[in-house]
Structure 1
Amino acid sequence: MEKALFLKWLSEGTVSIPHVLFKQYRAIGLQDEECMLILHVHTFIESGNPFPTPEELSGRMSISAARCMALLRSFIQQGLLEIDHFEDGEKGMYYEAYSLNPLWEKLLSLLSNQEAEQDQQEKENDEENVYSIFEREFGRPLSPMECETLKIWIDQDRHSPALIISALKEAVISGKLNFRYIDRILFEWKKNNIQTPEQARTYGEKFRARQTRGTARAPEQSESHNQFSVPVYNWLEQS
């Protein structure tokens, strides 16, 4: 008996409900009662009844048919639910069906806005981090002109904070810690389509390797000059 009942339950199938609805229904202005009604409408649609009556909905809930009707009307006014009209040409019949597409579109818009806000917050945090790193490397607060230069690099030149920090590191390695030198580095990187710190590192290593070959000690040089530091690339000399 229990097995037969269990098999009967399984034969009724299941309903797929987007997880995002459970997470975000309050964010789009739905109360618990309203969300439950939405779920019942969704269940009816998934089960092949696209236009359940208020009485059918009420029969599965603890609210009256009149309350269901009022909520359905409210959903339509809020742009969460719509009624589609169809015509069966062969039978000459017209019928209606609920569509939850407006609800899914609103949830999608909400998620897109949340993601945009998160990206903006991360961008602001990255920019604040750039200012802090520059002040730490320079050992002093940045001047208003230096702050404006940083802003131009980010907003107008579209250099990423990570790439700007890489240019700062390059200037530190070269022993030329000034904004003019860093600006030249960023200019050269942009001209050569360098967009990531990884690309910048590879680009710099290539030129250092070339300098190393060009400045290697000739055989007749004295032994005292055998040791030399790793050469740096002078970005100001780049044409």
Structure 2
Amino acid sequence: MNDLVFNTLKEKDFIVKSYLLKVSVSLNLNLNDFILLIYFTNQEEPTLNIDNIKKYTYLTEEAIMESYTKLIAINLIEITMKKDGNGLVHEVINLDNIIKSVTSDITREHKKNEKTNLFSLFEKEFVRPLSPMEYEIINEWIRSGISEELISEALKEAILNGVKSIRYIDKILLSWKEKGYKSASDVRSSLKKEDESTPELFSYNWLEDE
């Protein structure tokens, strides 16, 4: 390694954000794409400064432009216009889409885990594996917009009534939909109101009648 390369590496330490690894793998980016992203995310105000990028990444101009064009094409980075202190307009690379991409991946993964947990909850309460038909019915509930929280509450209601049947739970959910319930808290609030409106049979003080 010659002195120039050694001094450059010594002076410029790049921080590799963990989310870049996730984005690069999920979008099947190549090494040059990844290196360019690392460079951009380490700049306070990233711009397409070819000379600087070549200096710190050792990529050729052709490789830089190829990766740069690709990152724009897949909407991972975008160009925005910004005024400097002198009122001059210049191009700045906006990296917000990288964060949005990671956030979307995390959200999808979270929903996938929630769905898996819901199936596991049913199998635990039913004390048996679900049939393909039961899986499809639960998926249909989710696709129709019923929250997994409400589905879990309906399952709990069925178990409290001593019934382990998907069809029974389907009727509960249909009834709740007609009543406008969208969450478990809606169900609990309604039950609480019903309890409060039920008269107490033994609240009368018989001793005062003597």
Alignment of 1:176-191 (within 5 A): 176-191=163-178
Q: Which residue of 124, 148, 152 maps to 2:140?
A: 152
- Contact conserved, 2:50 with 2:64, CA < 8 A, in 1? no
Q: What is the TM-score of this pair, normalised by structure 1?
A: 0.53
Q: Does 1:129 align with 2:117?
A: yes
Q: Which residue of 40, 43, 61 maps to 1:39?
A: 43
1:52 CA displacement = 8.3
C-alpha spacing 1:130/1:81, structure 2 compared with 1 (3 Å) = closer
- Contact conserved, 1:83 with 1:97, CA < 8 A, in 2? no
Structure 1's unaligned 5+ residue stretches are: 1-20, 46-50, 85-95, 220-239
Residue identity matched to 1:128: T
C-alpha spacing 1:135/1:62, structure 2 compared with 1 (3 Å) = closer
1:72 CA displacement = 11
2:8: which partner in 1?
none
1:146 & 1:154 partners in 2: Cα distance? 13
C-alpha spacing 1:73/1:82, structure 2 compared with 1 (3 Å) = farther
- Contact conserved, 1:146 with 1:179, CA < 8 A, in 2? yes
C-alpha spacing 1:69/1:189, structure 2 compared with 1 (3 Å) = same
- Number of equivalences: 169
1:38 & 1:115 partners in 2: Cα distance? 20
1:25 & 1:218 partners in 2: Cα distance? 66
1:132 CA displacement = 1.0
Using CA pairs under 8 Å that are at least 6 residues apart, name the structure with larger relative contact order, 1 or 2: 2
Residue identity matched to 2:178: K
C-alpha spacing 1:191/1:208, structure 2 compared with 1 (3 Å) = same
Alignment of 1:44-123 (within 5 A): 63=55, 70=61, 74=65, 77-78=69-70, 79=72, 98-100=90-92, 103-104=93-94, 107-123=95-111
Cα displacement string for residues 45-97 of structure 1 (whole angstroms, at most 9, x for unaligned residues): 9xxxxx9895xx6xxx9949xx899389727645468697xxxxxxxxxxx85
Cα displacement string for residues 138-182 of structure 1 (whole angstroms, at most 9, x for unaligned residues): 111122222221111111x21121211111111122233322221
SS in 1 for 2:43: helix
- Contact conserved, 2:181 with 2:187, CA < 8 A, in 1? yes
1:152 & 1:139 partners in 2: Cα distance? 22
2:6: which partner in 1?
none
C-alpha spacing 1:171/1:52, structure 2 compared with 1 (3 Å) = closer
C-alpha spacing 1:140/1:70, structure 2 compared with 1 (3 Å) = closer
2:4: which partner in 1?
none
Between the aligned residues of both structures, percent identity stands at 24
SS in 1 for 2:145: coil
Quote the RMSD (CA, aligned, Å): 4.4
SS in 2 for 1:159: coil
2:184: which partner in 1?
197
2:104 & 2:116 partners in 1: Cα distance? 18
Structure 2's unaligned 5+ residue stretches are: 1-14, 82-87, 205-210
2:54 & 2:147 partners in 1: Cα distance? 55
- Contact conserved, 1:76 with 1:82, CA < 8 A, in 2? no
